[in-house]
Amino acid sequence: MNEFVVIGSLTALTRAQERPIPEEMLLSMEVDAWPEADPDRAFEIAKDFGLGSRFEQENGFYFDAVSPALPTLPDGWRERLVPRRLPGGALVKFVDPNDAAMAKLARGAGKDLHWIRAGLDASVLSIATLVYRFRETVFQDDDERERVRAVLRAEAERAGISM
């Protein structure tokens, strides 16, 4: 088991070779992830590498167990995973940052909206892509869909794009 899927703030790292990543997008101390072949093992891994672990104390970041069933992601997200081989040999597959942004929009936390705005301002994220992926996303309910639509509409207007 040396292949992991990473979602969340650190997905912005996949754009680092293309453009500078704003600090606001890299402030997270958690690596939101799951083992690709056995997602249920994520919670087992978090016992040794999670919040409050010796690993966190020594490295300054920690493994935050996530289930692939948890985030709200657009259809086709698996085909857009961005693979990166780590020096230790593990293969990390990052969720595309625009797909991660859709999950953050669905969650709607203030820190997530701040991350999205920083990404849009730095062209790490694309409002046109987010608007398109919104159409490919199944939300929990109508309230979540409308909340995300309102945020996207405001961001699209700010960018001069009609939704």
The tens digit of pLDDT for each residue in 4-56 reads: 999 999 999 999 999 999 999 998 999 999 999 999 999 999 999 999 999 99
Predicted pLDDT of residue 138: 95
The tens digit of pLDDT for each residue in 48-90 reads: 999 999 999 999 999 999 999 888 999 999 999 999 998 989 9
Q: Convert the chain into a string of H (helix), E (strand) and C (coil).
A: CCEEEEECHHHHHHHCCCCCCCHHHCCCCEEEEEECCCHHHHHHHHHHHCCCCHHHHHHCCEEEECCCCCCCCECCHHHHCEEEECCCCCEEEECCHHHHHHHHHHHCCHHHHHHHHHHHHCCCCCHHHHHHHHHCECCCCHHHHHHHHHHHHHHHHHHCCCC
The tens digit of pLDDT for each residue in 115-149 reads: 999 999 999 999 999 999 999 999 999 999 999 99
Predicted pLDDT of residue 139: 96
> Taking the model in full, what pTM does it have?
0.92
